[in-house]
Amino acid sequence: MGGNVGTRRVRRGRTVLVLAALALLWLAGASPSLAAGTVPAGAKEALAPVTKMIATLVAIAISLGVAICGAVIVWGGIEKTLAGANQDAEHRATRRIQNGIQGLVWMILASVIVSTITAIAVAYGLIDTPF
């Protein structure tokens, strides 16, 4: 039964990645004329502080996530070093390191997705460059 849960989790993860990739491809392939005329005059200027604030918060969240993942990896390394002959402690430490690496991959993926969406929005003229 435990294998089925892991298999479902992998399938769900792959489904999320495929859907995200399809959404990004659709956004990249959409014509800029679809976005033209949808931004009222003065709206970009009025929303500029909001977009900068959101961009700053996202950057802080991703940076904090990367720092936490790094700390988890280091913590797992220290636990693995101190585990000695205790197989259970070594397994927990190895799992902690794997979780830290997995979190780091998710943070990098989140950064790429946010950067791509921001670049597309800037290219279509929906927002000004946040930074």
Q: How many residues does this entry show for the chain?
A: 131
Question: What local confidence, expressed as pLDDT, does residue 73 receive?
Answer: 97
The span from the CA of 130 to the CA of 118, in Å, is 8
CA distance 98 to 93: 9
Structural domain includes residue 130 = no
Number of structural domains the chain divides into: 1
Residue 88 resides in a domain: yes
Buried b / exposed e over 14-25, threshold 16 CB at 10 Å, is eeeeeeeeeeee
128 vs 77, higher pLDDT: 77
93 assigned to some structural domain = yes
Handedness of CA 96, 102, 106, 107 (dihedral sign): positive
Give the list of residues 6+ apart from residue 53 with CB closer than 8 angstroms, or none: none
Rounded Cα distance between 109 and 66, Å, is 11
User: Any idea of the CA torsion for 25, 29, 30, 36, to the nearest 10 degrees?
Assistant: 120
Q: Is residue 14 part of a domain?
A: no
Report yes or no on 57 lying in a domain: yes
Could you give the CA distance from residue 29 to residue 14 in angstroms, rounded to a whole number?
A: 22
Confidence of residue 95 (pLDDT cuts 50, 70, 90): very high
> Does residue 78 lie within any of the structural domains?
yes
Judge whether 5 lies within some domain: no
Contacting residues for 38 by C-beta, under 8 A, at least 6 apart:
126
Q: Give the residue numbers spanning the domain of 101.
A: 31-123
Question: For residue 26, is it within any domain?
Answer: no
Q: Once rounded to an integer, what is the mean pLDDT over residues 110-127?
A: 88
**pLDDT tens per residue across span 20-58:** 888 877 766 766 655 555 677 687 788 888 889 999 999
pLDDT value, residue 30: 66
Distance CA 18, CA 20 (A): 5
